[in-house]
Chains A and B, each alone.
Chain A
Amino acid sequence: MPDPAYLAGVVAVAAAVTWGLRALPFALLAPLRASKVVPYLAASMPVGVMAALVVHTLRHTSLTAPPHGAPVAIALAATVALHVWRHNVVLSIAGGTAVHVALASVVFTG
């Protein structure tokens, strides 16, 4: 096992860099607060951020090797359908995940 002083150093460095990236931009953007562009970005950014995060979480899904992303594609469709139908965030996440787990552990086991 790596020694505790080294691990503590890793935790400290990673935490400091992460917090810096989360906090400093607010200070840098303070002069922009009064402009109209910030509320516009605030309203429009989330769609782009979520799209990037969704694709990022799926980046290791291979389309060329079997099962060609089929469990993921079906689970994505199920999540969207469930959400459009019932409009319940927790239900859509739980349902979509259940579909993915069932497909990945039982159907496409190869």
Chain B
Amino acid sequence: MTRAQDVRCTLRDSLSVGFAAAAMGMAFGVLVTRSGLHWWWATLFASVIFAGSLEFLLLGMVTALAPLGQVAVVAFLVNFRHVFYALSFPLHRVPGAAAKAYSTFALTDEAYAVTTRPEAQAWSRARILWLQAFVHLYWAGSVTLGALGGTLIPEAVKGLDFAVTALFLVLGIEAFRAHRDVPAAVVALACAVVGHVVFGEQMLVAAMAMFTAFLLARYAIGRRRA
């Protein structure tokens, strides 16, 4: 594939993320300027930290002048889920130290969701990196737009953040379709709900740990039978 083809394909693949990132990013940008920070802090947060849910949390913390130690603990807890992505993100298809550095830096939920899609199994290094760069650009761009434009979206328009839910839901259906593993899907849903009910704000790590434990147990039992 030529570079132009790579970029064109990636644009198409990343549209779904672009839509969700725009909705969330604009909302975050608006919040940054409403908290009294200069607009460019929004751009800096988005491009350097590049972790949506953490950025929302940090905004509340910096306005309360939370100590840096507390920032580190919150960042660790909120983003601990990324540990699980190393089990399945195709980093082995991204050779080169600089490329690996960027690819791990830009390993967001959205990048994970799109690059582990069934269709993405044959993606080249260039397609994976372009996809991540596009997601980065969408996020930083829409955050900046929100911070600068403030209220491009009228306040009466509510519920745009559902775009992020819809993105993960649709990519979840795609992931299910790839293997039609019904028991795994049922357990996945159960882990998510139990995680939410029992662990509240820490649900992501709890749900992912329970699901990984289920998969490992099933793998061990399957091997013993074989």
Using a CB–CB distance below 8 Å, which chain A residues touch chain B? Answer: 1-2, 6-7, 9-11, 13-15, 17-19, 21-23, 25-26, 28-29, 33, 37-38, 40-59, 71-72, 75-76, 79-80, 83-84, 89-90, 92-94, 96-97, 100-101, 103-105
B102 to chain A, nearest CB (A): 10
B76 to chain A, nearest CB (A): 5
Q: Are the C-beta atoms of B171 and A50 separated by less than 8 Å?
A: yes
Q: Are the C-beta atoms of B87 and A45 separated by less than 8 Å?
A: yes
A102 to chain B, nearest CB (A): 8
B182 to chain A, nearest CB (A): 10
Residues of chain B within 8 A (CB-CB) of A101 are: 157-160, 162
Residues of chain A within 8 A (CB-CB) of B158 are: 101, 104-105
Q: Are the C-beta atoms of B159 and A83 separated by less than 8 Å?
A: no
**Residue with the greatest number of chain A CB neighbours at <10 A, chosen from B165, B181, B216:** B165
Residues of chain B within 8 A (CB-CB) of A56 are: 192, 196, 203-204, 207
Nearest opposing residue in chain A for B170, CB measure: A92
In the assembled complex, B208 has its CB within 8 A of some CB on chain A:
yes
In the bound complex, CA of A1 to CA of B35 (Å): 8
Q: Are the C-beta atoms of B196 and A59 separated by less than 8 Å?
A: yes
Residues of chain A within 8 A (CB-CB) of B83 are: 21, 25
Stretch at the interface among B1-9, B61-69, B139-147: B61-69
Nearest opposing residue in chain B for A43, CB measure: B179
B69 to chain A, nearest CB (A): 9
A interface footprint on B189-216 (CB within 8 Å = 1, 0 otherwise): 1011101100011011001100110011
Q: Are the C-beta atoms of B207 and A55 separated by less than 8 Å?
A: yes
Nearest opposing residue in chain A for B175, CB measure: A46
**Residue with the greatest number of chain B CB neighbours at <10 A, chosen from A44, A59, A90:** A44
